[in-house]
Structure 1
């Protein structure tokens, strides 16, 4: 799986966990951010194919961040990772542009399954990179 991804979460240990899971499967982490404002800057400078996005963060929450990212880059895939599992809130996430949603705590299998859901060609970069 040669996917370029970014991890946006205010908890450093969760960023590290997601990074380890996806890089061990062959993904390439292009960066991390701890809040929504940093996320927009990071995505603009690195253009990842996939973003793992927390819902509750300082400065700009996951829903607000997803709306901005999808407006700037409609092709980007967003996987939400959050402790929030209320159906109405998750529905708002999908409406904002999330492509998949994984509830914390999550397993390696749940993360990899979410990736194959949003990027079924996993291993083929949508940016023409190999």
Structure 2
């Protein structure tokens, strides 16, 4: 799977977990961020195909971050990764620009299926760089 991805979560071990899952499947991690402000700067400088985005973070939560990312780059896919599974909040996440949503704890299979769901053409970077 030739995708470029970024991981945004305030928990370093979860960033590492997602990185390991996706890189072992052939993805390229273009960077990590621990909060929403860092995430927006990271996306601007690296233009990933997919952003794995936590909901609860300091400075700017996942919903606020997703709105900014989608305003700037609507083609970038956002996969939410959060412990929050309340239907109303998950719907709010989709409304703000999330393309898919997986609940922690998640499996390797869930992460890879989510990527296939948001990037059905799987294998091609939308930005032409790998």
- The answer to whether TM tops 0.5 is yes
CA distance in 1, matches of 2:128, 2:6: 18
Once the two structures are superposed, residues 103-130 of structure 1 have per-residue CA deviations (whole angstroms, 9 ceiling, x without a partner) of 0000000000000000011111112236
Q: Superposition pairs for residues 1-130 of structure 1, below 5 Å?
A: 1-129=1-129
| Counterpart-to-counterpart distance in 2, 1:127 and 1:14 | 26
Q: Is the 8 A contact 2:47 2:127 kept in 1?
A: no
After superposing on structure 2, the runs of 4+ consecutive aligned residues of structure 1 that deviate more than 3 Å are none
**Unmatched 5+ stretches in structure 1:** none
Supply the distance in 1 between the matched residues of 2:75 and 2:82 (Cα, whole angstroms): 22
Counting matched residue pairs gives 130
- Please give the root-mean-square deviation of Cα atoms over the aligned residues, in Å: 0.7
